[in-house]
Structure formats: structure tokens, C-alpha cells
Amino acid sequence: MADIKYTDVLEEDILDALVLAKQFHKEVNKAGYPTGFDNTKVMELIATAVGSESYKAFFIVVDGEKVGFFLGCLHEPMFSSELFATEMFWWMEKSHRGTRAGIGAIKVFEDWAISHGVTQINVSDLQGLKSLEKLYNKFGYKLSEITYRKEL
């Protein structure tokens, strides 16, 4: 059985997180989300998350190898002072998708969010990639919004 761990991103891990973010970016570009990639901006976001109570940044580690990266944040919605947690980024190597490692990642994020008193957790499911709908439904998530985009 695989040894699965979830380790917080530390300052010395920012480049490792950047590498995984680039892999995610490459995959979503192929799936129809073409955007540039600004190394500095991504590294600054990860650096902001490290050690912050408002962010949760962690690696999914299987048998000692970093195979995934998760980044989420706390925020208030526009209309109230409730506290929400929102997944900003979640990527795993294809060979580890659909495994206990991914299910555990959701649980780690949820536990962190609950410990901060959130009233709602938001996660995303990008079209063009393998759907996460069944996994999210298993954890009690319901579809709440569909986003449309227009490239200019």
C-alpha cells in the first residue's frame, strides 16, 4: 500500500510548487484554457501562502515523491461577513488521479477550512479535463455555478 502524506509548502519548497503549477498550466492549456504563465507572479502567490493563516498550500506526497499540489484560500463573500474557503489550484500527476491520495487532499483542505470556521467550501471542476463531479458529490458538494468565458 502506498505511503501517502500531505505536507505544507515551506519557503524552501516554492520552486517545487512552481514546477507542479507549470505542469497544471500545460495541461489546462491543452484542454482549452490558453493563458500565459508568469513565473514571478505564481512564485509570489505561493510565497504569500506559505505560513499564512488565510491560505492552505500543501503537497500530495506518495512514497516520498511530490505528485500533487493544492492551494486554497479563505475569503468573505461580497454580501456578508461569512467566511468561505475556495480551492484556487489542485493538480495531481495523472497516474495518481482517482486514488486515495486525491480523496485525502480534499479531506485535508476541508479539515483546514472547518478549523477556521468557514460556512462554505468551494471547489472547481474545469471542463475539458477529467470530471471531478462524482468525487465532489461523494463529499457532499453540489453544483452551484457555471462560468462562461469569451476569448478576445
pLDDT digits (tens, 9 = 90+) for 47-77: 999 999 999 999 999 999 999 999 999 999 9
**Cβ within 8 Å of residue 104, ≥6 positions away:** 4, 6, 60
Q: Which amino acid is at 134?
A: K
On the 0-12 / 13-18 / 19+ scale of CB atoms within 10 A, 58 is buried
pTM for the predicted model, two decimal places: 0.90
H or E segment and range at residue 87? strand 84-92
Q: Give the separation between CA 12 and CA 22, rounded to whole angstroms.
A: 18
Strand partners, 73: 55, 86
What is the percent of the chain where pLDDT is above 70? 99
Supply the pLDDT for residue 104.
94
Residue 21 host element (H or E): helix 14-30
